[in-house]
Structure 1
Amino acid sequence: MSRFALPALALAVLLAAAPAASQTPMDDPLDARDGRRVERMEKVVRELRAIVFQGRDKGVPVVVQPADTDARMQDLASRIGDLEQTLRRLNGSLETATHELDVAKRESTALQAQVKAMADRLAAAEVKLAEPPPPPEPPVEAAPAASAADAFGTARKLMLSGDYDAAENAFAGFVEAYPDAARTPEARYWWGKTLTVRGAHASAATAYIGAIRGWPQTTWAPDAVVELARSLVALKKPADACQTLAELGRRYPKPPATVASRAAAARTQAKCA
């Protein structure tokens, strides 16, 4: 498409002046310079008319563009701004891609190190499998089983040293290994003590019941009865605790003073009548 760009103001002036110039009477004499000026103006007008009419006949519009330097500068500045924004976006995308590439390189390096370490382990395993197996070691003779007295003494030492967890296991093992030994009821009593320390009152009550079965006449039996009553109080069975304390008075009428004092405290806790 052809475009004919002319300043708007000049085109308007020339088109308006054309009829006037053509109709201006030429009776007055003109000097040579004014005559040449008029001739040039008429020539320009004729050329402009030819351009306009030619564009009209051909159906091609005549585009008149204003000679506005400021508008062009603003348009140029706007385009430059757009280019700068595009460049900033490209720089941002480039920085992101560079960062992602660095991360991928680091991950690739770490993965290669892991693969190498795994390959080394596999190679070492293959070498080890290829070696002949070592000769079997001679069987170790089992140590002779400890006697009941030794097992009981070991458990008591653990308890006296304050290692209640180890003592609990030792007394439980003694009861299981020597269920009919002479000191098994006493082992149950001490076993109940270790259970009471860690708050296992139900298991402790079972251990105490096994210890005082038959109401043995021993130094530890009255205290075992009191410990059973205290476990029942902790289990929120005050009636059973009171009944147990009543048996204490019948079975062991003269308990040690410390045991009697602890029994009185248990009666208070159980709110015995």
Structure 2
Amino acid sequence: MNRSFLILLPFGVAALAGPVVAQDLSPRVDRLEREMRAVQRKVFPGGAGQLVEPQITAPQAPVATPGVPATSAVADLTARVSSLESQLSSLTGQIEQNQYQLRQLQQSFEAYRTSTDAKLAAGVAAPPPVVTDTAPPRDVAAAGDTRDAPPPRIAAPAGDRAAQVAAVAKPSTGDAGEDAYVYGYRLWQAKLYPEAAAALKKMVADYPQHRRASFAQNLLGRAYLDDGKPSLASIAFYDNYKKMPDGERAPDSLLYLGQSLVQLKKPADACKVYDELSDVYGDRMSAAMKADVANARTTAKCK
């Protein structure tokens, strides 16, 4: 055998090996690129399928100068594979982190829902109103009001909502606005808060110019407050103050508005409401109401 042929044989084999390896790497590169696009479409749905720059990139190859042989096809494909693997690793880490955060949010929400359901099942009630049952509240027994106060709370069969509502007598004095307000008041006394709220809202809508409209709007807020709905209560109280500032229960609505804000964890806003109450109605407040305001400011930790 020719000796020169034996010497050149290894170089020929090496030259042939390059194209063969390149052919083997090409399907891998194509597959990796397809997987990369699929992952990016999932992580970045608004990216329109475009590739993003990897967080970790391979160092740039030096620019070839004239006369220096170019890198082989195998080296180029290896660099592409390394870059794609780095991008896949980065995106996989982002997906795992997002999934972990989602699980944390779901667990937090489940814990909150379980806690809320337990409180509702236990019948947690809102704090009692300032005025007790020992005397008619300001909503009815106003100074100089000679009308008899409504009857005491009515005991109805427990567990039968319809029977409880039916047990509340509807007054009939010939004054439709007065009767509508007193009926709502009696429902509130019976602790039928949703029914009381509906009756009081209807009274205000039907008789907005009646003297008792301010009473009804204020008592509507109290019905929401006693029903554990301070957000709705705050709206009702605020509407009474803004829409009927000269109404007899506008000062009371500001007092209860502050209490609603305290329940909503907004004591600073409650203090501003108490300041407004003192500034606007200071000369109209009774000694009892001034004492209530002082106690409310202490509860809200006003300066």
Both proteins in one fold, TM over 0.5? no
**Greater share of helix:** 1
Greater C-alpha radius of gyration: 1
TM range (shorter): 0.3 to 0.5
